[in-house]
Structure formats: structure tokens, C-alpha cells
Chains A and B, each alone.
Chain A
Amino acid sequence: MNSDTSARNTKVMNRFDLTSRLIAKLKNEEAVIGGIGNTNFDLWAAGHRPQNFYMLGSMGLAFPIALGVALAQPDRRIFALEGDGSLLMQLGSLSTIATLAPKNLTMVVMDNGIYQITGAQPTPGATVADIVAIATASGLTHSSWAADEDDFERLIEQSMSAAGPTLIGVRIDDKPGTGTTRRDPVQIRERFMHGMGVREPL
């Protein structure tokens, strides 16, 4: 952890552990959108599902992609996993999501204050920016830091019946991702669309 931001007075957890806890809670073919790099490596390693989408580029677009899926499928719960560096590239998307207010979208920000995959350089907001405060100020009123693993699980469950979009900030350590996503964009998309019920299997 590169940050001593007092607002993030929460336990430092592990991304793979939290991702595994999230996946274990899914019972209704919920969609999970992984951001680039370590968030989708850990999503893959937590157990591949046809309802997982893995980004291979387009940094910062995990939440916009998830918003699109949420608008297309309002009866399905959509989760999106994003890093703090990626989110900083696309902070405006928080305002868009707050304005559209899809009830079926849960966003998780994995915050370790570093661009881990490029050599662990600090993000520009590492020591001062509070992602949850930014989200709240963007209009996402259901935004909170998870104090620990149990609190994370509680917030995930709470989000499943929330009246609006939910953002959960988690402080994580600097452990690298587990596993590596298979890097075949068309296969990833086709499987995801099959998982979303809009494509027949090959």
C-alpha cells in the first residue's frame, strides 16, 4: 500500500481473495466485468464463467462497459471490477452512471495506489485522492469503503437489492494477479454473449 490517506482507514486486503469471495456469492448468472490487467487476471483465476468479460486494453472502461450491459439487461445483476489508476482515467463515467442510476450495477474499486502491472509506480492520486468520496460527490450515494472482508461481503449482498448503483472501495495490497487471461478477444466476447443469453453456443 502506497498511501496513508486517513479517509481509507480500512483493512488492507487481497484482490484475489476478495474476487473469490464475490464469485462465491453469485448464483444467478450475474455478469462480472474485469478491468485490464490484474483485476481480470484474478477474475479469471477465481473461476472462469461464461458471464465473465475480460478487458485486454481500453483502460478505464470497465464501468462504462458494465453500464452498457446493465442498460441492455436490467433484470441481471452486473458487477464491475476496476483499479484505482484505471478509474482515475475515466472519473466522468461515475457522473454518467449516477445520472442514469441503474439499480443492477455494483462497482468495486481495487485501490492499492499503484499502477501495479507497469512496475508499481504510484498513481497521481495515491496519497491524497479518496475514490469513495469522489464517487459520492459524483452522485453515487451508495458508495462506501469496505472495512474488512466480512464488510466487503456484506456490502456486496446489500448491493444486490439496492435502489441504485453501488460503489465499493477496497484497499488492497500490492500482490500481483493470480493466473493470466487467455488473450483471444473474439472468444472472450462470444463466450460472454453466450453467457448473457444473446448468442447460441458454437
Chain B
Amino acid sequence: MAVVEEKTSPETSEKSWHGIVLQSLKRNDIRLVPYVPDRVLTTLIRSLHADPFFTTFPTAREEEAVGIVSGAWMGGMRGAVLMQTSGFATLANVLASLAIPYQIPLIMFVSERGTLGEFNYGQSLVCRTMRPVLDSLAMEHHTATRLDEFEFIVDRSIKQAITTQAPVALILSPLLTGGKVFDK
């Protein structure tokens, strides 16, 4: 598959975390981005919708999005899934029965809720299930906390996922994104 080198548009060339995600997806020819929304991902989702390079749409459930990008990969189109922590918690079955055994390079961006000031007890508990699930499946995962490292982590992780045909989870820490503003 051809790697696309697109000119950066002004609104995404800034070194914001979401601009880096968008440009890294583009650079690696990842065109299909289904998602289940999260407040922190709002700017990224909006910029993906605004760019005709991407086919991006909401799904009713995270595992549905995983099924879609898995089918797309098998049909020759690269994809990535956006979700938040609680959405990741619904994925153990599909990771263990589809992405891993079929060797599908599933790329996931997980907005991390449940830490660093979380107010919702349910969110903080479900967050603690995420890394043990990833570790128990021996899945590659990285927690991004710093903007200066982020492009390296995203770009290299995408390339590794594709070349080794293995899923990867990129966890977007509130230290990177600013997280949810707990104003109510």
C-alpha cells in the first residue's frame, strides 16, 4: 500500500496532540477512523471529519468499530479506532478472539479517564482494568504523557503494528491532552 505524503493544512500542522494524531494517520495512509466519542477527543474528531482524506463516523459500540477496521484491513484499507477508557473495557472478547488470533494490526487511541483528578468512581475503577487486560493479552501499549515524544510514539507504533500485524493501544494521558475539565 502506498504511503501518502500529504501537505499539512494550517489548522493541523500546529504541534498539538490532535494535530500529531491526524498527521501521523495520514502519513501512514490510515483513512478509516470509526469512533465512540469522548469529550477530550472532540477536536480530533472534528478535524478528521473536516478532512476528506478520512472516512470517519461514530459507531454504537467500540467492538463494532474494531470489527469494521478488521474487515477493512482484510479488504486492503487501513483503519484506527478512537475511544475512551470505559469503551476499551468492553473489548476483551474481540481482542482475544479477532484482533490477536487473526493477527490484525488494530490501532487504538484510548483517551484515558479515571485518573489524575477523576471524580467518577466508576471511571476510576474501570481505568484500573485497562493495563492488566492489555498485559494479560501481551498487547503492545504506550501511555503518551509528553507532547515532545508523542509523534515518535504514534508514528513508530503505527508502523510496528502494521509490519508485525499486531494490535497496539495508545493511551492518551491527561498529562498530554489536559483531560476532562472537572467543572461539574
Binding site for B on A (CB under 8 A): 31, 33, 53, 55-61, 63-73, 76, 90-93, 95-96, 99-100, 185-186, 188-189, 192-193, 196-198
**Contact, CB under 8 Å: B103 / A186:** yes
Contact of A56 among B70, B73, B101 (CB under 8 A): B101
**Contact, CB under 8 Å: B76 / A73:** yes
| Majority DSSP secondary structure for residues of A touching B | helix
Report the Cα distance A76→B75, complex, angstroms: 10
Binding site for A on B (CB under 8 A): 32, 34, 55, 57-61, 63-77, 79, 93-94, 96-98, 101-104
**Contact, CB under 8 Å: A72 / B75:** yes
**Contact, CB under 8 Å: A71 / B61:** no
Report the Cα distance A189→B102, complex, angstroms: 6
Further 17 A-B residue pairs, CB within 8 A, beyond A65-B68, A70-B71, A193-B74: A57-B96, A57-B97, A61-B64, A61-B67, A64-B59, A64-B65, A64-B68, A65-B74, A68-B72, A68-B74, A69-B71, A71-B71, A72-B32, A72-B73, A73-B76, A90-B60, A196-B74
Pick the most buried of A53, A55, A58: most chain B CB atoms within 10 A of its CB.
A58
Residues of A within 8 A of B93 (CB): 57-59
Report the Cα distance A197→B77, complex, angstroms: 12
**Contact, CB under 8 Å: A65 / B97:** no
**Contact, CB under 8 Å: B60 / A96:** yes
Residues of B within 8 A of A66 (CB): 71
**Contact, CB under 8 Å: B76 / A72:** yes
Residues of B within 8 A of A96 (CB): 34, 57-60, 64, 68
With contacts A61-B63, A71-B55, A92-B61 known, is A33 near B101, CB below 8 A?
A: no
* A56 vs chain B, min Cβ distance (A): 7
